């Protein structure tokens, strides 16, 4: 049913979870298309994932250099035009640096990198990437970051809450000091989502703590079929 849906996965220098994102796309039933940071062409894909990692070594500031990669130019235009884009971890940071999403991600409040199986609650199912979840559904997926604390000014946070743009929230433990326990947000249209935890690491029971992450990828594929 979702056969033929092509989802691009961008590789920046220092991207690490690009293979994992591509695998998740395939398991969800889509076709993963490798996109190269230096190629200003989206090759006609139906959606794009900016994967986790340390693009450009996270030097200067996480995502700050990747934001200027040639591939970002058509991507920013396409995202503003409604193309589904998911930024995971470092990808979330790139989306914030690109101003496709508001706010920023800062050093974890406890100052350590943290890798743990994290419980989150899906707060919005109206985005391109969360439509297959039930509202309020609680899931467990890996989280791994050193700079995952989501911050924005109060007005922005209030607006995100008011517009239903908080996509996911940490439950139980807030692992990085994110304001209002925010784990992920979307743009106003709901096509661009930034998420700090890693759904692509929770798509197989053998390698993930759960398979709870798979619905991020099936959501976008289902959305394309329905569109």
Q: What's the rounded Cα separation, in Å, for the pair 169 and 174? A: 9
The torsion angle over the Cα atoms of residues 193, 194, 199 and 200, rounded to 10 degrees, is 90
Strand partners, 172: none
Give me the catalytic one of 62, 89, 97, 201.
Answer: 89
Give me the catalytic one of 96, 147, 198, 201.
Answer: 198
112 is catalytic: no
Give which of 110, 112, 102, 130 is closest to 217, Cα–Cα.
130
123 is catalytic: no
Q: Least Å distance between CB 82 and other proteins?
A: 30
97 is catalytic: no
Nearer to other proteins among residue 8 and residue 175 (C-beta):
175
Dihedral sign, Cα of residue 174, residue 177, residue 183, residue 185? positive
Binding site for other proteins (CB under 8 A): 13-14, 16-17, 19-20, 23, 38, 52-54, 56-59, 112-116, 142, 144, 146, 198, 200-201, 204, 206-208
Would you state the structure tokens that stand for residue 177, as one six-digit string? 């000091």
Q: Least Å distance between CB 71 and other proteins?
A: 14
Give me the catalytic one of 62, 96, 200, 201.
Answer: 200
- Residues noted as catalytic: 89, 198, 200
């Amino acid at each position: 049913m979702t056969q033929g849906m092509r989802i691009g996965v961008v590789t920046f220098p220092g991207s690490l979870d690009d293979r994992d994102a591509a695998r998740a796309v395939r398991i969800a039933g889509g076709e993963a298309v490798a996109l190269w940071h230096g190629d200003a062409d989206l090759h006609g894909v139906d959606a794009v994932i900016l994967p986790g990692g340390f693009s450009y070594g996270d030097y200067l500031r996480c995502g700050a250099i990747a934001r200027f990669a040639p591939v970002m130019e058509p991507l920013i235009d396409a995202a503003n035009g409604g193309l589904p884009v998911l930024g995971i971890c470092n990808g979330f940071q790139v989306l914030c640096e690109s101003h496709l999403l508001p706010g920023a991600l800062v050093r974890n409040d406890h100052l350590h990198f943290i890798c743990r199986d994290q419980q989150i609650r899906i707060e919005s199912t109206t985005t391109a990437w969360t439509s297959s979840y039930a509202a309020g559904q609680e899931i467990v997926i890996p989280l791994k970051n050193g700079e995952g604390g989501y911050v924005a000014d109060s007005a922005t946070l209030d607006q995100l809450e008011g517009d239903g743009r908080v996509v996911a929230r940490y439950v139980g433990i807030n692992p990085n000091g994110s304001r209002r326990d925010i784990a992920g947000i979307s743009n106003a249209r709901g096509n661009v989502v930034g998420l700090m935890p890693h759904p692509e690491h929770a798509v197989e029971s053998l390698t993930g703590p759960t398979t709870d992450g798979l619905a991020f990828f099936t959501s976008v594929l289902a959305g394309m079929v329905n569109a």
